[in-house]
Structure 1
Amino acid sequence: MTLHNIFSKLRKQNKGQYLMLGFCIALSVLLVTSFALMYMGPTVQDILPEGGDTRKMASLLLGITIVGCLIFTVYASGLFFRYKSREYGVLLALGTPKRALKPLLFQELAFLTGISSVIGLILALPMSFAIWKIFDSILLSTDAMKYRFGARGYIVGLLFCVVLTALLFFYGMRFVKKTDIMDILRQSQKTEMVRPIPSWTGKVGLILIFLGLFIATAIPTLIANFLHYEVPAAFNLFYLIALIGIYMFMLSLVAQSSAGRHKDKYYKNLVSISMMRFSAKATTKNMCVATLLLFCCLFSAFYGMYYATQPEIMSIDNQKAFLLHFPIEENQLTGEEIHSLADEYDMTITGYEENEAANLAISYYFTDFSDETSKYFKTDGKQAKLALFFSESAFEQLSGQNVQVDHNTYKTITAVDYKENIWNFIDGLYAVTNPDTDQTYNLSYGGSVEFNALSTISDPYAFILSDQDYQTITASLGTQYMEKIIDFDVKDVESSYEFAKALEMEYVQHASVLSDYMGNYDAIEEKHALEKGEEYELGESIGLTHNMDKVPEDWKYAPQFIVVQHQDFMKNIAIYVMLCLYIFIIMLTSVIIMSYVRGISVATENQALFLSLSKLGANPAYRKRILKQQLKKIFQYPAIIGCSVAWVYSLLMSYFNDWRIVSDEVLNLGKVFLLALLVCTLLYFVYTRTYKKALKILGM
């Protein structure tokens, strides 16, 4: 009989181990590839802006998925090699040389990995489509959000297969390199007794968990706000403190080593405690991985909720539903043309207003950042850039609000519930200059006014002057610095999408070279750069043409239509929430399978021990209690710690993001808590299933 025949019989005898590893490989490939197909698909890639925070976070989620699935599969391979050790140990003891076993092992791994990967890749497309359709019925449901296949997702899946295969071969190589035959023979029964664990280990572990999370989340914000330094990216290594804390705390729970004050309880559970200590390292590693996966699981859900509960753009409180602003010299849409287009789409325009605003050079204090010192510092920008100024009466006409601006003062226009950031001070302006006459006027801060529609029309802010000051300061100002602003409402905003898109196209077609500028373009900044002999990158054209089929991205004079912004916002939310929830499903699935497999291994690896207990007279109730105690630790501790750490981290992120916790964040934290209870309940059902399966294995 050849070695190939022997291995064939062994595979048939132990097909459960091959099926388990093959299932884990196929599942990992399936999860990663289906996620990549959704994220790398044309629909998502067209919606997510290039270089935006949403795209960066989505890429991070893809990375988390890959790492989580790699950890999950490597863990499954460890169990596979643990069982294979008996077969290889016997063959080595019978005189079979390693050079004969090595290629056979790699052939098995190559065949198993290849078949499982192909299955995962094939199933990835229908799975991604099915998941997309589920979310489509709940979140997306627009023509622009239809599922479109993109081959780039399969490239990610294939690369994942290559990395996974390389890892499995690496662990296979390490397995074959074992030289101690007796060690290999005893590998499946080998204990991993740890040294006595001091009583303070668990307490220190808890302290390190919260200390690591606090340092990594709070300290960068505190340093930026109070010491004005930006901490380097390496500061994230402080999260390792929390990881060390989790390991120490888990180890203290698993490897109890002394009776302490509760001697009766200790000796009553001595068998169970000893069983856990004999596999302490493997169990602790397993529980730490499960804890981290549960953390990623719940935090991804929280981040999806956080993103979905951003301020509601569709609200028309304190703003107008439609806003246009453009150079006054440009031959743009007129009021008659806008009303005529509204009639075509059966829209009734209300509150139509148009007025002018002036771009003036501002001198102001703001926060800058030095790349050399990594420090934030307050600086004085003298005639640094242009900002848009409204007269008191013009603002009242456009906003419908009454405002009183005193002589030689200004008011800053902000959004509702605006919270000042470290970059631009709401009261930082102290002088304005007419760019044509170079006449400078000193001003003082006179308060702020909330009006969403005009809050983002100028950088850093738009401002209001008294009518007298406005007339004085803008005297002799050339029309090249003037802008026209048009804003209005419609009776049925929610039904105005088609009208809004048609109005956008008309607006783009009327645009000329006078408005062909990037979003952050500033004429004064360009002037200063040219005077210094420097290149001004923001002065480039955005390629504005009359036959464009959509509004250009990053356009200085882009229209602000609430219904369109809402639609785009909802697309981003739908995409991001879908990706976050998919991460939640992936991580939770991995935890369930890992915990189930580890629970079953408790029964299979300790069959001899339970048989010995039975022969020594231990009744079934006692043996069942021991089994329950083992399984409870595997399921209970990671669930409680993983969910708790995720909730605390979500709390810290919510607070230190803007130094407050608003009602939406409180609601999200409550949802995460309920979701944690749901996860714990689900793991409890998996525990009961595992317990019943383990009882069958042990013949109880």
Structure 2
Amino acid sequence: MMTMQKLEQKLQRADRKQAALYLFCNFISLMLISAYSAMIFSPTVLTVLPEGGDSRKQMIAIFVLALFGCTVFTAYAASLFFRKKSRQIGTLMALGASRRRLAPGLFREVFTLSTVSALAGLLTGFPFVWILWSLFRMLIVDSAQMDLVLDFRCLFVSIPFFLIVVLFSCITAFRYLKRTNIMDTIREEHKNEPVRELGRWCGPVGIIVLLIGAVAGYNASAVYQHLFSAFPPIWINVLYAPVFVGLYMIILHTVVHGWVQNKKNPYKTLISRSMMKFQGRQTVNNLLVSTVLIAGGCFGLFFLPMMGSSQLLDTKNRPFDYLFQYRADQNVPTQTAVEELAGQYDLDLKDWSSGEYLYLAMDGQEMFEDGRSYHYEYTPLLQGGKFLSESSFSELTGMDVDVKPGTYKGISNDEETGTYFMKLESELLTNLSTMSTCDTKFDGFIHYGLLVDQRGYYVLDDADYAAIKEGISDEYRGNMFAFNINGEDSYDFAYELFLAFMGSFTEDCELPIYYDPVEKYACEQRGETYWGDTDEMTQVSFDDPDSSDFRMYWTYMPKIRILDQNDYMRTYAVYLMMFLFIAIICILAAMVIGYTRCQTIALNNRYLFDDLKKLGASSAFLTREVKSQCKKVFRTPSIIGISLMFLLYTLIMFGNDGALTYSEVIGLFACAGSLLIVSLVIYAVYRLTVRKVKEELNI
């Protein structure tokens, strides 16, 4: 005899595919959020990414996007599950089962499914991170700094997300039980969600709205600072909102109208377009989330080729294999000592050259903060700069240069980019040992990329240099030497020389490049504590010369071609892994959303495909309709997300210096190559999805 309990169990078995899809969605969402939160809270990552730095801000911003995407995704999965579940509820209610009778079983099933899947995903996130990290260390690069350490404060993100998933599923179950119309409950899964049509103007206007939002959001901060002399509030980012409105309109146009009209055979795509339109609301929402996730994934992916191409081109084009700079009071290896060490590796040195520089204070307008507002005041001791004489520059580089008396020239690369850290408005130089001054003004650039760093090199007229040098102490005087290797270089020699050079410095030179003695002196004169003497400034240590912080930020870090080329991956390993992980998480989430949406299309339109079969539709015709549906789900967000992020990244590169440098152009080509790989991955998932949908529909 068929009891109500047995009937309920039979209906549950009939819906097992939908339950499996719900389990899969919850599992993937929690796994991705758990893994991402584990990464962004990891001390391994936080130690390398400076607090308040652009890299950490970008990491958090994309995490917010991923969190938003997974939230929408799980909410959609739950609503989809209950739309199918409503048939079971309505059938049992029609057979006389009361809501009170159905409630315990429904809540038990929903709570079990959501809890088990979400908890499994949460716990799987940790081994998922560990596996990816270990593969990166095993296949790409490994270093002591790459030891993965997890901070379980990340659970403060993943556990609330877990509770939201479970709570939302229970609330949705309660809402469905509250319905009174049995027929509406039974037919819930067949209800369409048509989206409101806005006409064919929707797509072109959406593009315009998107561009307006991008321009407004990108320039809003600069305009606000110019008008109000204050740091922009966080709400100013709301000006990016038109970007999402424009995206929605573009995707809506794609779903409802499409961009290409088949005037010769307008009915060819009638079935596929109608299926898409009748489920337009959820389709548009899903495609919007997928677009944002793919764009975020591309942003993370671009970090690798852009940084790599810039670094490799810089090291390749250097005129010297080795360049060392040091404070004059340090006892570094001499030319004889370097030659003796090279002899141990059967190496010969050539093109040895040297020079000296002075560390002088430069005047300018200093920013003083008052809460969110700020103002500028003139100060004769704004920041320090490294100044060479004409003769010293020529001796070091072999280039003849003529600097007019009373002026100075800045040293830049050939494109004159990356000079934002230099002071080009200074009119007064100060010797901090004697406090003697020299009136001067900026008079253009000298192109010599090897002497470009985050502090800035300048060249003075010989007479001005001699005058300002009078009485300066070794603390504010430095020396430099450079040389090439005659023939093939040796990494072992380069590394041993680097360690010997570093080991010759005293502890007071254990400083990052942004530690400025001029700023420190000015702060002490005002009775203030210099921020570089607090915990706010990232420190470097002689005990860890292979760390990313030391290699990137030590103020006397030498430029050694073979070392920089071979250790690039190790130096930037954590950066590369973090942004690669971001790309994997975002693109994987987008692919899961696309796969789930296509499965939904198959389940919701099963009856339509069955009717088409009865009317004599061939397998080829049905396959074409399936491909048409799946193609829009994958192709639309991929094209929009990839194109927008590539355009945005190009604008960011251009906006940094008002031009695209040669290395940036090469980097953008490398980014285009990485996009080809992403496109192939998306295409592979699309093919897999089509095959699965055809299996579901028995085509």
Distance 1:443 1:159 in 2: 55
The SS at the match of 1:177 is helix
The corresponding residue for 1:559 is 557
Deviation of residue 123 (structure 1)? 5.0
- The within-5 A match list for 1:99-138 is 101-117=102-118, 119-120=120-121, 123-124=124-125, 127-136=128-137
The corresponding residue for 2:453 is 456
Distance 1:281 1:545 in 2: 54
Distance 2:665 2:569 in 1: 22
The SS at the match of 1:311 is helix
Deviation of residue 241 (structure 1)? 1.0
The SS at the match of 1:429 is coil
The corresponding residue for 1:649 is 648
Distance 2:630 2:341 in 1: 69
Q: Is structure 2 residue 534 aligned with structure 1 residue 533?
A: no
Q: Deviations over 1:91-141 (max 9, x none)?
A: 44455454554554443344334433554466556544543454346532x
Conserved? CA contact 2:74–2:165, under 8 Å: no
Deviation of residue 191 (structure 1)? 1.6
The corresponding residue for 2:574 is 575
- The within-5 A match list for 1:35-74 is 44=45, 47-49=48-50, 52-74=53-75
More divergent stretch after superposition (276-285 vs 662-671): 662-671
Conserved? CA contact 1:254–1:276, under 8 Å: yes
Q: Is structure 2 residue 395 aligned with structure 1 residue 397?
A: yes
Residues 502 and 697 (structure 1 numbering): CA distance in 2 closer, same or farther, change over 3 Å? closer
- The within-5 A match list for 1:307-318 is 307-312=307-312, 313-315=314-316, 317-318=318-319
Unmatched segments (≥5 aa) in structure 2:
none
The SS at the match of 1:16 is helix
Distance 1:70 1:464 in 2: 57
The corresponding residue for 2:299 is 299
CA RMSD in angstroms comes to: 4.3
Deviation of residue 188 (structure 1)? 0.7
Which amino acid in 2 is paired with 1:502? Answer: L
The corresponding residue for 2:428 is 431
The corresponding residue for 1:84 is 85
Conserved? CA contact 1:518–1:538, under 8 Å: no
The corresponding residue for 1:475 is 470
Deviation of residue 189 (structure 1)? 1.0
Deviation of residue 172 (structure 1)? 3.0
Conserved? CA contact 1:221–1:656, under 8 Å: no
Residues 518 and 695 (structure 1 numbering): CA distance in 2 closer, same or farther, change over 3 Å? closer
The corresponding residue for 1:14 is 15
Deviation of residue 236 (structure 1)? 2.7
The corresponding residue for 2:636 is 637
Which amino acid in 1 is paired with 2:277? Answer: R
Distance 1:440 1:129 in 2: 58
The SS at the match of 1:448 is strand
Distance 2:399 2:378 in 1: 32
- The within-5 A match list for 1:229-268 is 231-255=232-256
Q: Deviations over 1:643-695 (max 9, x none)?
A: 33333333333322332223444444445555555555555555555445444
Distance 1:332 1:625 in 2: 73
For residue 388 of structure 1, the aligned residue among 386, 389, 400 is 386
Residues 691 and 416 (structure 1 numbering): CA distance in 2 closer, same or farther, change over 3 Å? closer
Which amino acid in 1 is paired with 2:464? Answer: D
Which amino acid in 2 is paired with 1:440? Answer: T
Which amino acid in 1 is paired with 2:440? Answer: L
More divergent stretch after superposition (198-207 vs 398-407): 398-407
Residues 676 and 101 (structure 1 numbering): CA distance in 2 closer, same or farther, change over 3 Å? farther
Q: Is structure 2 residue 174 aligned with structure 1 residue 176?
A: yes
More divergent stretch after superposition (568-577 vs 343-352): 343-352
Which amino acid in 1 is paired with 2:499? Answer: A
Q: Deviations over 1:500-538 (max 9, x none)?
A: 442145224xx155x466644445544443443333333
Q: Deviations over 1:400-444 (max 9, x none)?
A: 433333333333233454326556443x23233444554433224
Residues 104 and 667 (structure 1 numbering): CA distance in 2 closer, same or farther, change over 3 Å? farther
Deviation of residue 571 (structure 1)? 2.7
Residues 160 and 583 (structure 1 numbering): CA distance in 2 closer, same or farther, change over 3 Å? same
Residues 518 and 175 (structure 1 numbering): CA distance in 2 closer, same or farther, change over 3 Å? same
Conserved? CA contact 2:431–2:469, under 8 Å: yes
Which amino acid in 2 is paired with 1:240? Answer: A
Deviation of residue 573 (structure 1)? 3.9
Deviation of residue 370 (structure 1)? 6.0
**Normalising by the residue count of structure 2, what TM-score does the alignment of the two structures yield?**
0.82
The SS at the match of 1:496 is helix
Q: Is structure 2 residue 185 aligned with structure 1 residue 188?
A: no
The SS at the match of 1:193 is coil
For residue 493 of structure 2, the aligned residue among 488, 491, 496 is 496
More divergent stretch after superposition (569-578 vs 551-560): 551-560
For residue 506 of structure 1, the aligned residue among 503, 507, 515 is 503
The corresponding residue for 1:360 is 360
Distance 2:401 2:625 in 1: 75
Which amino acid in 2 is paired with 1:391? Answer: S
Conserved? CA contact 2:360–2:384, under 8 Å: yes
Conserved? CA contact 1:205–1:244, under 8 Å: yes
Conserved? CA contact 1:301–1:580, under 8 Å: yes
Q: Is structure 2 residue 436 aligned with structure 1 residue 442?
A: no
Which amino acid in 2 is paired with 1:466? Answer: D
The corresponding residue for 1:160 is 158
Distance 1:306 1:287 in 2: 28
Deviation of residue 5 (structure 1)? 6.1
The corresponding residue for 2:412 is 414
The SS at the match of 2:445 is strand
Unmatched segments (≥5 aa) in structure 1:
none
Distance 1:273 1:549 in 2: 61
Distance 1:25 1:665 in 2: 40
Conserved? CA contact 1:197–1:256, under 8 Å: no
Q: Is structure 2 residue 272 aligned with structure 1 residue 277?
A: no
Conserved? CA contact 1:414–1:452, under 8 Å: yes
Residues 273 and 128 (structure 1 numbering): CA distance in 2 closer, same or farther, change over 3 Å? closer
Distance 1:586 1:407 in 2: 58
The SS at the match of 2:426 is strand
Residues 42 and 340 (structure 1 numbering): CA distance in 2 closer, same or farther, change over 3 Å? farther
Residues 168 and 644 (structure 1 numbering): CA distance in 2 closer, same or farther, change over 3 Å? farther
Residues 521 and 192 (structure 1 numbering): CA distance in 2 closer, same or farther, change over 3 Å? closer
The SS at the match of 1:185 is helix
Q: Deviations over 1:349-378 (max 9, x none)?
A: 545555543333433x4685866686797x
The SS at the match of 2:636 is helix
Deviation of residue 163 (structure 1)? 0.9
Residues 386 and 88 (structure 1 numbering): CA distance in 2 closer, same or farther, change over 3 Å? same
Q: Deviations over 1:578-631 (max 9, x none)?
A: 333333333333333333332233232223334445666777776666555444
Residues 55 and 340 (structure 1 numbering): CA distance in 2 closer, same or farther, change over 3 Å? farther
Structure 1 vs Structure 2: percent identity of aligned residues? 27
Residues 289 and 447 (structure 1 numbering): CA distance in 2 closer, same or farther, change over 3 Å? closer
Deviation of residue 494 (structure 1)? 3.9
